[in-house]
Amino acid sequence: MTNFDTGTTGFMIVATALVMIMTPGLAFFYGGLAGKKNVVGVMFQSFVSLGVSAVLWYVCGYSLSFSGDMCGGFIGNFDKAFFSGVNLNSVFAPNPDHPMPEFVFAAYQLMFAVITPALITGAFANRMGFKAYLIFLVLWQLLVYYPFAHMVWGGGLLAKWGVLDFAGGIVVHATAGFAALATVFYLKDRRDKTSANNNIPLIAIGTGLLWFGWYGFNAGSALDVNNITGQAFMNTNTAAAFAAVTWMIIDWMMTKKAKSVAFMTGAVAGLATITPAAGFVSLNAAVAIGIAASIVCYGACMLKNKMKWDDALDVWGVHGMGGVTGVILLGVFGSKIVNPAGADGLMNGGGEFFVHQLAAVIGTCIYAFVITYGMLIVINMITKVRVSEADEDKGLDISEHDESAYAEGAH
């Protein structure tokens, strides 16, 4: 039997559990933001990913993300399909002195694959049929998530080009955010865009679980227990706090009221934006990134409203533009003094690294948008992507699931 490092292994198991709880957290967050007739449908789209994505990960997802190379480093191969060759003694050791079981690394990465497509669902709330969503869930991971997981974290094309993404600015947030925008353009507007947030306490529960789980998302991405783990943890909390306060102040100035949902939305924007940079920048840079997160993401949401894009729960504005901003600002603030395994950004003389980050995130956004839009066209040939007008008016909770979030007669 291999002697694994118990400290690193234990920490990564906890981090895996933390990232897992983010998907139910996202379900609560979206469920509270949705209208009363679509709470179950929105939440179920997140929860079902815990099952479907895990099945797909076992069959081929882990292998396509983290085994070998195909297509010039665009995606992995099938050598580890069905976890072939992964056993009790399989080692994953980015730090040779602190090896962990490969099973633990695979489980940790699975949780990222679970939540990423779930993020997209907030954009098309009230409109996509469940059968079409299940097909979308599978195809999107095969065609978008696995390639980017491999290119950035699996030693593929972007990694070889020197692109960095500590915990998912490119792999998670940029891909999901611009895929969300594609679904908005394809599905067009909801019939009823007037429904208010149905449950602010539910939004608060979701925000709390997301913020809590994000420590595993970012600090766990150090894949070890060391000073970088601590840096990522503190950067995560600091950026989230500054972003939450900044968003609240901006919204307060705009609406003349201090709103709890504004504070919570700002926190999520800050968490998304610090994600790619968490283990590569200083604490002062995290402050700047948190403030920039709210300025950019709030502005993106205002642009969306002006352009009348019906991104129901602001997935593009918060996650998409948050991820893009974080990747670019990593290219600005990255520091080898903070993390010798990282890179120096523009502020530290790393002009070439900045260009690579910028080009990579632009390419990611274009790819995710185009492939997602094309995918929806294909899915619509198999089954109608958008529900009927009658079902939409009835609400997807009843029309798709025959379940209701609230007792009959609740107001």
Residue with tokens 């602190």, as numbered in its chain = 98
In this structure, the chain runs to a length of 411
pTM attached to this predicted model: 0.96
Name the band, by pLDDT with cuts 50, 70 and 90, for residue 192.
Answer: confident
pLDDT of residue 411: 47
* Rounded Cα distance, 86 and 59, in Å: 13
What are the chain's domains? 6-401 (1.10.3430.10)
Mean predicted confidence (pLDDT) in 172-194? 95
pLDDT of residue 408: 64
* Rounded Cα distance, 78 and 85, in Å: 11
* 363-400: burial string, b at 16+ Cβ within 10 Å, e else: ebbebbbebbeebbeebeeeeebbbeeebbeebbbebb
Amino acid at 168: G
Count Cβ atoms within 10 A of the Cβ of residue 155 and give its class: 0-12 exposed, 13-18 middle, 19 or more buried.
middle
pLDDT of residue 409: 54
Mean predicted confidence (pLDDT) in 370-391? 98
Average pLDDT, rounded, for the chain: 96
> Quick check: helix, strand or coil at residue 49?
helix
The residues facing 302 across adjacent strands are: none
Least confident piece of the model among 13-22, 147-156, 195-204: 195-204
* Rounded Cα distance, 123 and 185, in Å: 10
Q: To which H or E segment does residue 148 belong?
A: helix 146-153
Sequence-distant contacts of 247-251: CB under 8 A, at least 24 apart: 247/294, 247/297, 247/298, 250/294, 250/295, 250/298, 251/298
Q: What is the pLDDT of residues 302-311, one digit of tens each?
A: 999 999 999 9
Mean predicted confidence (pLDDT) in 240-254? 98
* Cα 382 versus chain centre, distance: 27
Q: What is the pLDDT of residues 267-291, one digit of tens each?
A: 999 999 999 999 999 999 999 999 9
What percent of the chain is predicted at pLDDT more than 70? 99
Helix count and strand count (H, E) for the chain: 17, 2
Q: 274: which 2 tokens?
A: 């610090």
Name the band, by pLDDT with cuts 50, 70 and 90, for residue 65.
Answer: very high
